């Protein structure tokens, strides 16, 4: 027994140590400790605390609440509010008080700009008001409301279907890329991504089935929204009966007004409580760790209820933060109050999205880990604290090198102010900024940079050309892209064969537009069906293209483990593309089984999405006659013929500018005018692992799907190109001798 006792106390010591380690590891702190005699106190060491300045920031967030508002928020009132029916909730939204005024303004003006605080009911209510006011003429016309983000389109559509007490997908539906949840005859209200409405111009250039179009979240200034506004400006004079509503959070509104001949601006005054802003005293090197520590500081020191909203930059960061939070919370067990962690980001499967809207249980705190999707597009009730490291992931494109990257950059002042405002919706709130006050005033840009100024324009230019807009320079846009950016887009399209040397769109270019994917993928698919030395590989290529749309979430779990089991799924493969192909085909051969996915650590839901994408791409191939061509070619192919060279060649045709060559100093991209850039194969790539495990000589040429800048410039989704002359064979007008030299 004595031995047992010793064992127990050792066990206890060990557990305590584990707990300390967990907290320390996850918070990045030197000395966070947990101690206690009877019951535990949760103590943060001073060193580990993130220090914030106190700064009641009235000039940033004006105090607009009254005694009445405060009273409204007593516990009792809140409980009553919860019991209000859905219709009464609708009436409680700020826009409701302006319902009639808004409808009158819309009647009197073809274009109206509506500005209001996030959460005031613009997105969910305005389209319903239009329906109620008879704009759809008993189902003859539709009402469209665009959203920059897929998650917003789907979740808002679900909410509105609920409010209107109809089945989602019937009267109220949504349309996002690869997923159309509408019924042509019955849908009157359609939430859609701005990109989808843009595509509708191809089949219906006057948008004749719509009575009203609401361009929502216009302040986000996505590329698709900007181009939509330009196209709408063009058609509005011919379509006098079409109503256009542009809605925006409280930034940028006058710019929209002057773009549309001084259209009236309707301000919906919102209710907002004061938010105390806290800054860190010092810059924090690791904002993720600092955010996790801050969350626990809030959780252990601030009274309940009061949920926390944390702004992170993407899925990976959110997953890492969730892991740390769970580890620490688990280690602390019942020494701290319960918390629910609810992540939200663009690729989060829809069935998991609802968690952020679920009411937080009593005596528990909800911690929402969000990308900037929660900045304005989604409103989450009950948030009292905002933790904001002040970063955002942004696309950045350099026309001179043709390189496109997702970069983590500091947000604008307008963005961080919006984020802070999320804490003041239900009552006075607090915002913890993980950057200094100095940085706020001196380092942050005042406004975010519109996407049109920092992205590859090829796809949009191709779309405009296919719509007959040839004078690109004078096309109406809120911000004009630079001439080099436009020229680069034209050059890219010429290399792909979408334009001829006079800059006129070709038949191939029109086909590339038809595909619901980027023009380069369209070219890959087209090549696989039509090119003499690729023909017969269409099915495989379409599968790979579909898989490449979902690479972020195909394989389950921790990185090290994931790399191990990737090859376990399919045996040795020479490229990531072949890995994707074999994974899909193995799953297909097992009758798309769920248990196969489970056994092989592949995400079943992602695979279902891939299958759906693949079906849509295939239908498009069918429509364009490519499937028939492929069938014919298959007949003449040898049964055992190795398809891999055909697949590689098809991808070369679509991505000739995404090739890197091995030089004495490592891989360098084949830049045309600028020389190359040093790049490395990403460690998660099968190409990287194959080279390491088999000591194989690295391939001289690598084709990659994208570049990611982290510690250095990495190529992701790589495919070795075994023969140099394939480049010249597939894209002769680009690889003309001197171009491929270092
Ligand atoms: O567009 P805006 O930011 O002005 O507001 P909204 O998105 O129409 O949201 C109005 C209200 O609907 C919010 O206060 C949310 O509480 C609620 N809502 C919800 O409960 N679930 C959703 N999926 C969307 C909105
Ligand atoms: Mg909205």
Per residue in 448-491, pLDDT tens? 999 999 999 999 999 999 999 999 999 999 999 999 999 999 99
Residue 396's pLDDT band, with cuts at 50, 70 and 90, is confident
Q: What is the CA(145)–ligand 1 centre distance, in A?
A: 14
CA separation for the pair 433, 386 (Å, rounded): 8
> Does 741 have pLDDT greater than 70?
no
Query: How does residue 211 score in pLDDT terms, banded at 50, 70 and 90?
Result: very high
Ligand (nearest to CA of 119): 1
* Bridge partners, 404 (sequence order): 397
Mean pLDDT of the 67-93 span? 64
Question: What pLDDT is attached to residue 97?
Answer: 94
Nearest CA to ligand 1 atom 13: 119
Largest CA distance in the chain: 93
* CA 125–ligand 2 middle distance (angstroms): 9
Greatest mean pLDDT among 17-26, 86-95, 603-612, 673-682: 603-612
Output the CA torsion sign for 165, 195, 370, 248.
Answer: negative
Nearest residue (CA) to ligand 1, atom 21: 159
Residues having CB closer than 6 A to ligand 1 are: 93, 116, 118-125, 155-156, 159, 357, 379, 381
Give the number of the atom of ligand 1 that is nearest the alpha carbon of residue 381: 16
The DSSP result for 599-610, as a single string, is HTTB-HHHHHHH
> 3-state DSSP call for residue 734?
coil
Q: 181 CA to middle of ligand 1, Å?
A: 20
More confident residue, 373 or 690: 373
How much distance in Å is there from the Cα of 193 to the middle of ligand 2? 13
* Paired sense of beta strands 383-388 and 429-433, if any: parallel
- Looking at all shown ligands, the one closest to residue 159's CA atom is 1
Distance 123 CA to ligand 1 centre (A): 7
Does residue 13 surpass a pLDDT of 60?
no
Ligand nearest 377 Cα, by number? 2
pTM for the structure as a whole: 0.82
Report CA(160)–ligand 2 centroid distance (Å).
Answer: 12
Mutating to test ligand 1, I would choose from 102, 119, 359 the residue with most ligand atoms within 8 A of its C-beta, which is 119
Tell me which DSSP letter residue 2 carries: H
- pLDDT over 60 at 532, yes or no: yes
> Distance from first CA to last CA of the chain, Å, rounded?
75
State the closest ligand 1 atom to the C-alpha of 377, by its place in the atom list counted from 1.
Answer: 3
3-class DSSP assignment, residue 537: coil
Ligand lying nearest the CA atom of residue 380:
1
Dist. CA 654–CA 648, nearest whole Å: 10
Nearest atom in ligand 1 to the alpha carbon of residue 120 is: 4
The H or E element spanning position 373 is: helix 373-376
> What is the share, in percent, of the chain residues with pLDDT greater than 90?
57
Name the pLDDT band for 690 (thresholds 50, 70, 90).
Answer: confident
Q: How far is the CA of 474 from the centre of ligand 2 (A)?
A: 31
Residue 192's pLDDT band (cuts 50, 70, 90): very high
pLDDT score, position 694: 67
Residue 604 C-alpha from the chain's centroid: 21
Q: How far apart are CA 375 and CA 129, in angstroms?
A: 25
The ligand whose atoms approach the alpha carbon of 121 most closely is 1
Per-residue pLDDT, 563: 53
Rounded Cα distance, 537 and 540, in Å: 6
Give the count of beta carbons closer than 10 Å to the beta carbon of residue 525.
28
Pocket-testing residue among 90, 113, 146, 159, ligand 1, by greatest number of atoms within 8 A of Cβ: 159
Would you place residue 79 in the very low, low, confident or very high pLDDT band (cuts 50, 70, 90)?
very low
Of 413, 414, 409, the C-alpha closest to 440 is: 413
pLDDT band at 673 (very low <50, low <70, confident <90, very high): low
pLDDT at 187: 96
Cis peptide bond upstream of 305, omega within 30: yes
Higher-pLDDT residue of 271, 317 = 317
Mean pLDDT of 276-296: 90
Q: Say which range, 44-53, 187-196, 209-218, 602-611, has the weakest mean pLDDT.
A: 44-53
Please list all protein residues whose beta carbon sits less than 5 angstroms from ligand 2, which is an ion: 123
720 with 702: CB under 8 angstroms?
Answer: yes
CA of 356 to the centre of ligand 1 (A): 12
**Closest Cα to atom 8, ligand 1: which residue?**
121
Cβ partners under 8 Å of residue 371, min gap 6: 311, 312, 313, 314, 315, 318, 344, 345, 346, 393
pLDDT at 53 over 70: no
Average pLDDT of the residues in 625-636: 90
pLDDT bucket at 674, cuts 50 / 70 / 90: low
Q: Say yes or no to pLDDT of 156 above 50.
A: yes
C-alpha radius of gyration, the chain, whole number: 28
What is the whole-number distance in angstroms between the Cα of residue 442 and the centre of ligand 2? 30
Residue 363 Cα, ligand 1 centroid: separation in angstroms? Answer: 25
Question: Closest ligand 1 atom to the C-alpha of 425?
Answer: 14
- What is the average per-residue pLDDT within 235-258? 92
Question: Which ligand is closest in space to the CA of residue 218?
Answer: 2
Q: Is the ipTM of this complex over 0.95?
A: yes
Asked if pLDDT for residue 546 goes beyond 60, the answer is yes
Q: Indicate which atom in ligand 1 lies nearest the CA of residue 155.
A: 23
Q: Over the chain, what is the mean pLDDT?
A: 85
Residue range 171-176: average pLDDT? 96
Centre of ligand 2 from the C-alpha of residue 121, in Å:
7
pLDDT band at 2 (very low <50, low <70, confident <90, very high): very low
Helix (H, G, I), strand (E, B) or coil at 448: coil
Ligand nearest to the CA of 82: 1
Residue nearest to atom 16 of ligand 1 (CA): 381
For residue 689, name the pLDDT band (cuts at 50, 70, 90): confident
Taking the CA atoms of residue 538, residue 543, residue 546 and residue 551 in that order, the dihedral angle to the nearest 10 degrees is -140
The CA 365 to ligand 1 mean position distance, Å, reads: 21
Atom of ligand 1 nearest to the CA of 94: 4
| 194-215 mean pLDDT | 95
Decide if 588 contacts 713 (C-beta within 8 A).
no
User: 565 pLDDT band (50/70/90 cuts)?
Assistant: low
Hey, whose CA ends up nearest to atom 6 of ligand 1? 121
Q: What is the pLDDT of residue 42?
A: 33
3-state secondary structure of 42: strand
């Amino acid at each position: 027994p004595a031995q047992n006792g010793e064992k127990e106390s050792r066990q206890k010591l060990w557990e305590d140590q584990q707990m300390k380690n967990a907290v320390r590891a996850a918070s990045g702190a030197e000395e966070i400790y947990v101690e206690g005699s009877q019951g535990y106190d949760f103590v943060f060491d001073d060193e580990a605390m993130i220090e914030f300045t106190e700064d009641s920031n009235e000039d940033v967030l004006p105090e607009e609440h009254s005694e009445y508002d405060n009273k409204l928020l007593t516990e009792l009132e809140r409980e009553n509010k919860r019991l209000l029916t859905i219709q009464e909730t609708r009436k409680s939204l700020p826009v409701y008080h302006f319902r009639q005024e808004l409808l009158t303004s819309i009647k009197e003006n073809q274009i109206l700009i509506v500005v209001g605080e996030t959460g005031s009911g613009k997105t969910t209510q305005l389209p319903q008001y239009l329906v109620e006011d008879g704009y759809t003429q008993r189902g003859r016309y539709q009402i469209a409301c665009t959203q920059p983000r897929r998650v917003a389109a789907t979740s808002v559509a679900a909410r509105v279907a609920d409010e209107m007490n109809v089945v989602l997908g019937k009267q109220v539906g949504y349309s996002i890329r690869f997923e159309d949840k509408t019924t042509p005859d019955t849908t009157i209200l359609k939430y859609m991504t701005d990109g989808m409405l843009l595509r509708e111009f191809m089949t219906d250039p006057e948008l004749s089935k719509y009575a009203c179009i609401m361009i929502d979240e216009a302040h986000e200034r996505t590329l698709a929204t900007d181009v939509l506004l330009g196209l709408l400006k063009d058609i509005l004079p011919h379509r006098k009966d079409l109503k256009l509503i542009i809605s925006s959070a409280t930034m940028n509104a006058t710019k929209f007004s002057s773009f549309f001949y001084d259209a009236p601006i309707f301000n919906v005054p919102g209710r907002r409580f004061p938010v105390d802003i806290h800054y860190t005293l010092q810059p924090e090197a690791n904002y993720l760790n600092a955010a996790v520590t801050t969350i626990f500081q809030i959780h252990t020191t601030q009274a309940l209820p009061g949920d926390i909203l944390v702004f992170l930059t993407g899925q990976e960061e959110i997953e890492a933060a969730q892991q740390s939070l769970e580890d620490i919370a688990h280690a602390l067990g019942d020494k701290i109050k319960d918390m629910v962690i609810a992540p939200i980001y663009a690729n989060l499967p829809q069935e998991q999205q609802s968690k952020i809207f679920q009411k937080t249980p009593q005596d528990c705190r909800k911690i929402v880990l969000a990308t900037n999707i929660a900045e304005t597009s989604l409103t989450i009730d009950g948030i009292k604290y905002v933790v904001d490291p002040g970063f955002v992931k942004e696309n950045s494109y350099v026309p001179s090198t043709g390189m496109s990257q997702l970069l983590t950059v500091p947000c604008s002042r307008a963005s961080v102010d919006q984020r802070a405002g999320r804490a003041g919706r239900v009552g006075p709130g607090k915002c913890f900024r993980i950057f200094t006050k100095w940085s706020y005033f001196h380092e942050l840009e005042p406004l975010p940079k519109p996407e049109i100024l920092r992205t590859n324009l090829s796809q949009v230019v191709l779309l405009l050309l296919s719509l007959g807009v040839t004078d690109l320079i004078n096309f109406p846009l809120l911000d004009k892209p630079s001439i080099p950016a436009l020229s680069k887009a034209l050059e890219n399209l010429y290399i792909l064969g979408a334009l001829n040397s006079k800059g006129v769109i070709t038949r191939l270019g029109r086909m590339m537009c038809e595909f619901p994917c980027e023009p380069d993928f369209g070219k890959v698919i087209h090549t696989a069906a039509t090119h003499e030395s690729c023909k017969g590989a269409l099915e495989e290529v379409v599968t790979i293209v579909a898989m490449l749309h979902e690479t972020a979430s195909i394989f389950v779990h921790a990185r090290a483990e994931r790399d191990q089991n990737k090859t376990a799924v399919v045996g040795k493969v020479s490229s990531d593309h072949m890995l994707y192909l074999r994974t899909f085909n193995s799953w297909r051969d097992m009758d798309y089984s769920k248990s196969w996915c489970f056994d092989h650590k592949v995400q079943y839901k992602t695979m279902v999405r891939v299958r759906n994408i693949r079906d849509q791409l295939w239908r498009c191939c069918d429509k364009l006659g490519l499937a028939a061509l492929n069938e014919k070619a298959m007949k003449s192919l040898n049964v055992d013929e190795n398809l891999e060279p055909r697949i590689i060649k098809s991808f070369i045709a679509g991505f000739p500018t995404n090739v890197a060559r091995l030089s004495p100093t490592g891989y360098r991209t084949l830049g045309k005018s600028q020389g190359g850039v040093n790049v490395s194969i990403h460690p998660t790539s099968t190409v990287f692992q194959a080279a390491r495990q088999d000591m194989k000589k690295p391939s001289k040429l690598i084709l990659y799907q994208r570049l990611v800048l982290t510690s250095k410039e990495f190529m992701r989704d790589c495919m070795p190109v075994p023969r140099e002359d394939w480049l010249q064979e597939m894209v002769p007008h680009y690889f003309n001798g001197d171009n491929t030299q270092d």
